[in-house]
Amino acid sequence: MQIIEKVTLFSAKRDYFLFVGLMLTLLSFSFSYEYYKYKQLTKFDSQLSDVTVVKAYNKTKLTKNGKIKSYKILKLRSDDGFVFYTTAKKNLHNLQNKRLHVELWAGNISFKEYLKGFFAFSKILKIYKKPTFKQKTASFIDAQHASSEIAKLYKALFLALPLPTSIQTQFSNLGISHLIAISGFHLGVLATLLFFLFKYPYKFLQNRYFPYRSYKRDSFFFISLVLLGYLLFLGSPPSLLRAYVMLVVGFVLYDRGMQIISMQTLLLTVLLILALFPKLLLSIGFWLSVSGVFYIFLFLLHCKECSKLTQFLLLPFWVYLMMLPFSMAIFGNFSLYHPLSILWTTLFTLFYPLAIALHVMGLGNLLDAPLSYLLHVNAHALQHTLAKVYLIAEIVLSLAAVFSKKALYALLGYTLLLFVYFIYNVA
């Protein structure tokens, strides 16, 4: 039986350069629009804006007079698309996710600061009393848990709300912070869950009323529509946005008989996202998400002759080793529990949909016991930030590994040495 070979996305260099040229043109228009919004923001001394409170936490500092001053730091996302930090009175409580009408003084900020996020003094003119759907959902989750820490954990998992620093550090020590930050991994689990929920009712109706319709296209349309709504509901986190665009691009390529698992697909997705959302160029979360997919593709491209079972068993170990230098360079936390994240990641594919179902039924507290253990276990973590030169070395080896098997083995050996180094130091 002859197997039809899938065609590549760019069959000639001319196609590749045309695509890159198109993306650069689109990127220039996107940057021009962002620059226009930047000039509008800084045109006058102050601006009025409706904002959403993304994060709120208390902070103290020592004044020149030797007194301790307490105040609140707010991370706000404007309806106009920019993100900024400001201060507020300490006696303002429960501002998380609330809608505010503020006057802000952006000052003399640069365009780069505007894109990345900046600090601005502001004055809260109005706190909208009507709760948003996100606030109602957060309250629904709170009501199911006796522990506020576990409730915050689930709100981060389902609503992409920021975690307190203490919980972030604990999960970073355990090597599972990627499971709490909503990303493409979560989107993949949700897409699979939606696929099976849609499949059987659709097949039943299709056999009786519309056998002429394409099941694959209709199921993709349904799944992508639901996930788009969820993406917008969460405020389009960078890693989730990358995953969603890649899902759409992947299906379009699959539907046309083109290769999906290729570096060309990843390149297309990254360039398309950056062309449409140039602010992500400065987002660490976005580039971590891209790196994760890059290493998955690198493994599958070099191990395509391996059996599906072998790929399934080895892939988690590979991704863990490849992403370890990134984790240590950015977060700098490691413990003997850290390698167990390979197991927790595998089990999470079962935990995540189960947790969703239990919360929908109002029984979210049934899984509180194991989460409480993870929150309070003493990880005896090592605090060691990996120097950037070692991370750059991995990136260089990774890019070379796309074209060379020898570079792939060198990359594997290099990350194994770093892993042994961290184990030795923490033990």
In which band, very low, low, confident or very high, does the pLDDT at 427 lie, cut at 50, 70 and 90?
Answer: low
- Looking at residue 403, its pLDDT comes to 92
The CA distances from residue 407 to 318, 353, 398, 400, in Å, are 15, 38, 8, 6
A 10 A CB-CB count for 37 gives 14
Overall residue count recorded for the chain in this entry: 427
Could you tell me which residues come within 8 angstroms of residue 144 by beta carbon, excluding any fewer than 6 positions away?
151, 359, 362, 363, 364, 365
Q: Is 380 left (phi over 0), alpha (psi -120 to 50) or beta?
A: left
Q: Cβ distance 81 to 276 under 8 Å?
A: no
Q: Cβ distance 109 to 81 under 8 Å?
A: no
- Looking at residue 404, its pLDDT comes to 92
Question: The whole model's pTM is what?
Answer: 0.84
pLDDT(1) > 60: no
In which band, very low, low, confident or very high, does the pLDDT at 8 lie, cut at 50, 70 and 90?
Answer: low
| Residue type (1 letter), 215 | Y
Higher-scoring residue by pLDDT: 160, 399: 399
In the chain, the percentage of residues whose pLDDT exceeds 90 is 33
pLDDT(90) > 80: no
In 210-307, which residue ranges form alpha helices assigned H by DSSP? Answer: 215-234, 238-255, 263-276, 284-302
Q: Torsion over CA of 308, 313, 315 and 316, rounded to 10 degrees?
A: 150
Distance CA 132, CA 77 (A): 15
Q: Which of 56-65, 143-152, 197-206, 373-382 is the least confident region?
A: 56-65
Is the torsion defined by CA of 331, 415, 310, 258 positive or negative? positive
